[in-house]
Structure 1
């Protein structure tokens, strides 16, 4: 079981459970087609964002297989919500997890996704004692690939036209890291 002590602080960020007060800021980027381009949902209406947020609020603890830990990422300096990160517990038996992240484009290119995701890896390896953590993305999503590479994850697979994604054949790449490959951040 993983029940983090919130908020989790990094040098520039706070990671915390979502609340209904996050609706406006979450909607500001979940509603954007460019943000939804490489995720399994389309740009969300305000009502769709509210429904998604209601689910996210319940994802603050990992108890068993297929549970999701979903956290809001906010700037420590301003309190602005800039991202949405997830740790999925894929298998208790095989000690496997998956990470995911979505950030407001206004905050891309500053290392925030990497900084927040380093905490996901810490939770996965140090607190949950997972053996392997992976991340998946559309091969065209070079920004997400770069984040996983900066985290030290290795590219394990390139699945060619493995699914029809938003009406077209899409390639998927998979990055992973084993616990023994993980280096805790100072």
Structure 2
């Protein structure tokens, strides 16, 4: 496995993954402050002040070396516009595993930007870093994310009933995964 890994921009046909920067604040706050976007996330809609702190923390996350290290780059469109964020966290160095996630602005949803961005991170995870397994854990009521996992070739491994008490209700967790050999196949 090639660790430590230092962040560098990743380019696809229609998107680029780049570090978050201060001028992303307005769009990031609009996205993370939207209760509908946050409906299936682990946090409630955030205030602009909270997003200021999130932006400072996430923009400084540039290195993967040990368990819990993560990168959360911005997804940018062809003109450099902010579309959302991706997430890749090392969950075990010994087992060569990571977790993948995404959030998009409403106007960027349903247009293939998340799929292209996730493929960039999966390619990075398996071909550059040398991970063995990448998982995505999500609320199974989030049909768009379930369909994205399936399009990425991730297999459903679990549907854990009433896994956590979140936002005033018991919620389920869906677990999807893809192995290095499945990615290469």
TM-score, with structure 1 as normaliser: 0.94
1:176 is aligned to 2:183: no
Q: Verify: 1:13 aligned to 2:21, yes or no.
A: no
User: Counterparts in 2 of 1:28-177, with a 5 A limit?
Assistant: 28-76=30-78, 78-177=79-178
- The number of residue pairs the alignment matches comes to 182
Deviation at 1:105, TM superposition (A): 1.1
Q: Report which structure shows greater RCO (CA 8 Å, sep ≥6).
A: 2
Instruction: Return the alpha-carbon distance in structure 2 between the equivalents of residues 86 and 5 of structure 1.
Output: 14
**1:88-132 CA-partner distances (Å, limit 9, x unpaired):** 000000111100100001111111111000011111111111111
TM-aligned CA deviation for residue 53 of structure 1: 0.5
Aligned residues of 2:99 and 2:134 also touching (Cα < 8 A): yes
Contact persistence 2:136–2:175 (CA under 8 A) = yes
1:45-65 alpha-carbon deviations (Å, 9 max, x no partner): 110111110111111221211
1:7-44 CA distances to partner (integer Å, 9 max, x unpaired)? x1100011101111110111121110011111111111
Give distance in 2, aligned partners of 1:79 and 1:19: 12
Structure 2 equivalent of residue 26 of structure 1: 28
Per-residue deviation, 1:4: 3.5
CA distance in 2: counterparts of 1:88 and 1:152, whole angstroms: 19
Extract structure 1 runs of 4+ deviating beyond 6 A: none
Unaligned runs of 5+ in 2: none
Gaps of 5+ in 1: none
Q: Scaled by the length of structure 2, what TM-score is found?
A: 0.95
Q: Which residue of 1 aligns with 2:7?
A: 4
Aligned counterparts of 1:98 and 1:46: Cα–Cα separation in 2: 26
